Each structure stands twice: as structure tokens, then as C-alpha cells.
Structure 1
């Protein structure tokens, strides 16, 4: 059973009454402090829960193993997602968070992990704002889980060589087919957090009223 202390993490309590919790999942090579500014921008005053990935690839923090660039170890995706789901549940209990108002946001490897949480642990999260995310269960069709009521923002790059547009669109379709309310925005650039897409994500967050 995963405990809160099993993950190195940062927790910042909410400073706005009634604010949700943002679960922040960094990209490859970053750490638990990397996306704190993103969390503050998306939902000022929200509680921030930002763990560090427990997989090391050539000294870089990651959330799950990959066999080579662009090819995931899907069994590890499943196992590591279960560990992370256990951490989120434990942290909600230990920090007194509303378990029905946790929204995940991540970039790249973290965004893929956030997508895996949605598909593999469908009642864990109330929403997601994911950037440069693709379908995480490569070669496997996710179970037909019920994601009705889950709101998702997906930001992707039309020229992204890491998370290709096809993979981003496949993820949007997988989530939508399972009932999620998906808003997808594409920018003309590559594998990055685009400022215009970030502004669109902030607007989406305001409209979603988590």
C-alpha cells in the first residue's frame, strides 16, 4: 500500500477558500518543483501536490520506463500508475484534501502519466490539463471505463517530434469515447508548453469551475 512519504513531493495548501487541488506531474529530467509555477498560473490559490517520478533514466527523473525513445514499457506504465494513484489517495487523506476535486496537470512524460491515471483509475480525478500528452497504453486498447463528468484539456504541437499529432489525437479520442468532456488545442510548434495554449488552458480552467 503506497503511503504519502513513499514519494518525494511538495505540498502547498490552498490559499483560496473552496479551491481544488492540482496534482502536478513533471516531464523527463525535471523534479517536483518544476511545474509549481504552472499550477499557480492555472488556478491561483489552489492546493498544489507535486511529487517526483520514481524512475531514473540515465539520472533523469521519470514516471515510468521506456524501451527506447517513443516506446513505452506499458507494463511499467500500469504498475507505476497504480503506485501514483495510491500516493494521491494517501495524500488526500493525510492533507485533508477533497478527493472529488483533484485535477491533474502535467507535461510530456508527466502528461502521459496523467492520461494513464484517467484511463486506469477513472474515479481518482475530476479533471486534467495535459500538455504534450499521447496515448499512454501503446498497442493496447484501454478498458471501457466511465469518464463521464471528467473534464480534460489537451494541448499539443502540430510539429511535435516526441508526442506526434496522431498520438495526441488518439488520446483525445480514447478519452472522449469513454465519456470525458475533452477540449483539445493544437499549436504550430513542437514539444513545448506553448504560451497561447497555456492561456487557453487557464480560460478552460476558469470555465470548468472545479
Structure 2
């Protein structure tokens, strides 16, 4: 597993007292994939995009991808722990952010939910686009008590995320978050202009 690589949307020399938005790309992409979203969201946040630690295809992955049709994604916990360690280092070097928010696409969305499960007190909210809750066994009592705001956006024509993962996430999110769910007619495995507007409103 390679160390995480981070790239910011602007100068990043002081986090103390500022909001931080952490972008988590999807399978086979890299740390620059979601950066074009930053100006579209019109935020005052410092924005950092992380590169996943596992090489996969033309890019990187947050967890292994298996041939087993009953469990296609390996454990997200190692990557989540790596993100928490990166956040510890950034905080030590640049100061404690006022709050940290997460935005993940696909496998990055699964990672965002894993981070909420492992450390719900560290994150103010999460945006999960075309993502799902992993099958990892976790003690979610602390998360259910906090119930952070989560925006879950997905297309109803997504051919990538299995129906079983959607059903699992549909049952899990309402019990563990203050959920805002958006389903976009005709949208495949991607991010639409309408969805970006909803993300902007949610984060604002």
C-alpha cells in the first residue's frame, strides 16, 4: 500500500479555524479527478483531494476489487485508517480545522461512509455520490448516536453499483445519518449538473 498523495485546490498553508473538504475519488481514478468540482461548489472551504493507496488499472483504488460476485470490494478499513493518519499529520502541521467534510464518488463514497463509521466525531458531514456502504463489520453505535448529515446521490440507470449494495445502503443510511437522498432519472455512473447543484446547496 502506497502512502496517500494529496493535492489541494488552492494554497494550503493554514487549516486552523477553517473548514476542510476532503475529496475521495472513485475506482481507477486519481487525486485530480474530482478537483474540477471545487470551483463549481463555490465554497470557502480548503479543498484537498487524496489519491488512493492501491494501484488499479490506469489509476488507484481504496480497496481491492475481487472476482467474487458475492463480495466485490475488499475491506475499506486500511484505507480509512490511512486517511485518518493523513488528517492527523495535516492537523499537526497546519492547525485544527473548524470542521472536516467528506465528498466521495463510487468507491470513494464507500470510503467516506467507512470514515464516518470509524470516527464519527471527526467529520461534520459527508457527500456520497454513486456510492454505497461496504460490507465491513463495524460497531456503528457511536455513529447512530451522532447521525451526521449525509447527502446520498445516485442515478437510477447506474450499471456499476450492484442492486444488493444499493438495497443495503438504503436500509443502513437512515439509521446512521441525517440522510438527504437524491435519485436522478437517467443518470448512469457519473455526476450530473443537477447533482452538483444539490451538492452545492447541501454543503452551503
SS in 2 for 1:48: strand
Segments of 5+ residues of structure 1 without an aligned counterpart are none
Aligned to 2:82: 83
Contact 1:22/1:39 (<8 A) preserved:
no
* Cα 1:168–1:202 shift into 2, 3 Å: farther
SS in 2 for 1:22: strand
Contact 1:156/1:165 (<8 A) preserved:
no
Find the partner of 1:144 among 141, 144, 155. Answer: 141
d(CA) in 1 for partners of 2:103, 2:138: 23
d(CA) in 2 for partners of 1:18, 1:81: 24
Find the partner of 1:104 among 95, 102, 105. Answer: 102
d(CA) in 1 for partners of 2:166, 2:181: 9
Aligned to 1:72: 73
SS in 2 for 1:67: coil
The CA RMSD over aligned residues, in Å, is 2.6
d(CA) in 2 for partners of 1:91, 1:124: 14
Find the partner of 1:174 among 172, 176, 184. Answer: 172
TM-score norm. by structure 2 comes to 0.83
d(CA) in 2 for partners of 1:51, 1:194: 22
* Cα 1:18–1:120 shift into 2, 3 Å: closer
d(CA) in 1 for partners of 2:13, 2:174: 30
Q: Encode CA deviations 1:14-65: one digit per residue, 9 max, x unaligned.
A: 99x9651100111122221221221332242310121110101234211111
Aligned to 1:9: 6
SS in 2 for 1:192: coil
* Cα 1:31–1:167 shift into 2, 3 Å: same
The worse-fitting range, judged by mean Cα deviation, of 34-43 and 123-132 is 34-43
Q: Encode CA deviations 1:78-112: one digit per residue, 9 max, x unaligned.
A: 122111111122212222241x5100001111111
d(CA) in 1 for partners of 2:34, 2:13: 16
* Cα 1:123–1:80 shift into 2, 3 Å: same
TM-score norm. by structure 1 comes to 0.81
Contact 2:116/2:143 (<8 A) preserved:
no
Which segments of structure 1 move beyond 4 Å, counting only runs of 4 or more? none
Contact 2:126/2:151 (<8 A) preserved:
yes
